[in-house]
Homo-oligomer: A and B are copies of this chain.
């Protein structure tokens, strides 16, 4: 009894295929499944992704698994070390800063574009998305909520209909998910919803300037919700260095 593929999943699949130069055929499926698992925090940063093991799970040979892992490495979700294999990426504090700096530059510009061209249909879709996010949050399914929260941003990029920016944002959102898994310090995860709703308001009014400004604040707010202070060099540095 296989779960039928939903239209939303098909949609995402075709979009991803357009935007990224993802592998084709079976490798794409594995890619998406691994990606989803990582983005929902079912696979923790640093976890080893053995080729044999992944192949076993998805019933594929190492050849296609390798292609998938390579693709994920390019989008920043996986890091590959020569002769050692693939691991769920573990962004450094520095990379975390860089990712949110990049998002703070790009996403507001894209939100501005999106506000100028959004259709009623797309507005409704975004609304439905927020509802789903709310439902997941209410069901305490944090993994799914986070996944959907990220998707909200990529959907805006798709609405702006700018493939280059959309590809960049997709990669940045993916990395952000890992960064949040590692460095999130706030307890009120629900705070996102507020910003997202404010953004919806701006979209409904087709107010480009407001959308840009709200999105910028939102990203900066997310950035400030991370605990990105370098640990003091004394305490953990030795043990860290030895087990690293």
| Residues of chain A whose beta carbon lies under 8 Å from any beta carbon of chain B | 20-21, 23-25, 66-67, 70-71, 73-74, 76, 78-80, 82, 95, 98-99, 101-102, 105-106, 109, 162-165, 168, 172
What residue in chain B is nearest A27 (Cβ atoms)?
B70
Number of this chain's copies in the assembly equals 2
B163 touches A21 (CB 8 A): no
Q: Which residues of B contact A82 (CB under 8 A)?
A: 24-25
Could you tell me the distance between the alpha carbons of A102 and B167 in the complex, rounded to whole angstroms? Answer: 11
Q: Which residues of B contact A168 (CB under 8 A)?
A: 102, 168
What residue in chain B is nearest A109 (Cβ atoms)?
B105
Give the 5 A-B residue pairs with the shortest CB-CB distance, closest first: A21-B73, A74-B74, A98-B164, A24-B82, A102-B164
B95 touches A163 (CB 8 A): yes
User: Nearest Cβ in chain B — how far from A73, in angstroms?
Assistant: 4
Q: Which residues of B contact A172 (CB under 8 A)?
A: 164
Q: Which residues of B contact A70 (CB under 8 A)?
A: 21, 23, 67, 70-71
